[in-house]
Amino acid sequence: MRFLLLIFIILSSTLNIGCSVKSSKKSDFLMNVSQLDEEEEIYLQKKILINEMLFSSKTLHQISWPILKNNKDKCSKTNSYSFGILFASAEDLPKKDRKYFQPILNDNISPVYLKRYNTENLPVIVSVAKNSPAYKSNIIEGDIVLKINNLEVKGFRKKLRSAYSSSSLLTLTLLRNNRVLEKKINGIIACNYNIQPIPSAAPNAYADGEKVYITLAAIKLARTVDELAFLIGHELAHNIFHYKYFHGSEANTMTINYMDAPKIKNLNSFFLVSTQKKETEADLKGVEIAFKGGFALNNVNDYWRRLSVFNPSLISSSSANYKSNALRAILISKKLKELRNNAEE
């Protein structure tokens, strides 16, 4: 599995190098391009990237919250509470990109507040899951975080993790329409795996024990929330039943950190994994998990059919690692039929 991933990485970097200017001396046609021109264009492209990450993060959040909540019986060993909020913080971005945070996500904040809280930027709430504790406490998208449990937001993720694991009560001091609000949220027990988008042109999904990564290409290939719920369910099944990892925190869900990637040491991918038995188990348990999350999973096998176009050899050939896409789709249909019959009884 690492071998194929490696080939993919090598191929992508070769393509990138092939298209860039190799010479250190600027060629004639680049003579009239100023550094400022280049910086402006870099900003525009980073802005598109960050907005795409934000949009995809929200999409995955709304689908994964009910799945994580309704499967809490499988995650009772967790030691961190869940609140149903996604944040974006400048600290999540690579250092060289932090200057883009203010114009993209903090542009509506009066400098008075930045001065008062002694900071160049403030974390923003970018998604509130429907019917989550945060939703019930009337937290809304776009709220700016001034304090967590009365502490400054410097070292944001660390403070958030500590707050989530120490008490079910979270106090957020927020800025909304130039008004400062204090909100208390009562956390609940749910599965604490982070479901995140990851930039990649290949439709795939990964689990590394702690997190689930769905590639931007996979998100774009999916046509219904059911299809994404199925993908999430499959990867969650790896984290719950194969990695048996229960020490995660909802506070670790990254929204704009496009550099965050699965830990290669533990990597498990939608296609390239250890054994056929584990893969089939992840498909079947994954369907159960997503179904329990409230998703009907109608026509979910359409995803396989569309996916097979990218890898025609997977349509009919099984290997030691995975069953063919045709067999996987049939098994999933049978499992769904069984779940629907049970639900009707």
- Smaller CB distance to Zn ion: residue 79 or 274? 274
Residue number, 216 or 236, with CB nearest to Zn ion: 236
CB of 237 to Zn ion, least distance (A): 8
CB of 331 to Zn ion, least distance (A): 13
What lies within 8 Å, CB to CB, of 148 at 6+ separation is 156, 159, 160, 163, 170, 171, 172, 173
Span of 47-55, 138-146, 176-184, 282-290 interacting with Zn ion by CB under 5 A: 282-290
CB atoms within 10 A of CB 81: 24
282 contacts Zn ion (rule: CB under 5 A): yes
- Closest distance of CB 320 from Zn ion, Å: 14
Start-end of H helices in 117-197: 133-136, 156-166
For position 237 contacting Zn ion by CB under 5 A, the verdict is no
Rounded to a whole number of angstroms, the minimum distance from the CB of residue 283 to Zn ion is 8
Task: Report, in Å, the least distance between residue 243 CB and Zn ion.
Answer: 12
174 within 8 A of 180, measured Cβ to Cβ? yes
27's CB contacts (< 8 A; 6+ apart) are 21
Stretch that binds Zn ion, among 35-43, 68-76, 247-255, 267-275 (CB under 5 A): 267-275
Per DSSP, helices labelled H in 71-191 are 101-105, 111-116, 133-136, 156-166
DSSP-derived letter for residue 240 is: I
Look at strands 205-207 and 268-269 and give their pairing.
antiparallel
- In angstroms, give the least distance from the CB of 164 to Zn ion: 28
Per CB under 5 A, the segment of 77-85, 172-180, 196-204, 266-274 that binds Zn ion is 266-274
162/266 with CB nearer Zn ion: 266
Continuous H helices in 71-215: 101-105, 111-116, 133-136, 156-166
What is the CA 193 to chain-centroid distance, rounded? Answer: 10
CB 66 within 8 Å of CB 82: no
Residue 230 amino acid letter:
F
| Count of residues interacting with Zn ion (CB under 5 A) | 2
| Residue in the shown chain whose Cβ atom is closest to Zn ion | 282
| Binding string, residues 12-41; x marks residues near Zn ion by CB under 5 A | ------------------------------
Tell me the window of 145-153, 242-250, 280-288, 296-304 that interacts with Zn ion (CB under 5 A). Answer: 280-288
Closest to Zn ion by CB, 218 vs 273, is 273
> Is residue 287 close enough to count as binding Zn ion by CB under 5 A?
no
Residues that bind Zn ion (CB under 5 A): 273, 282
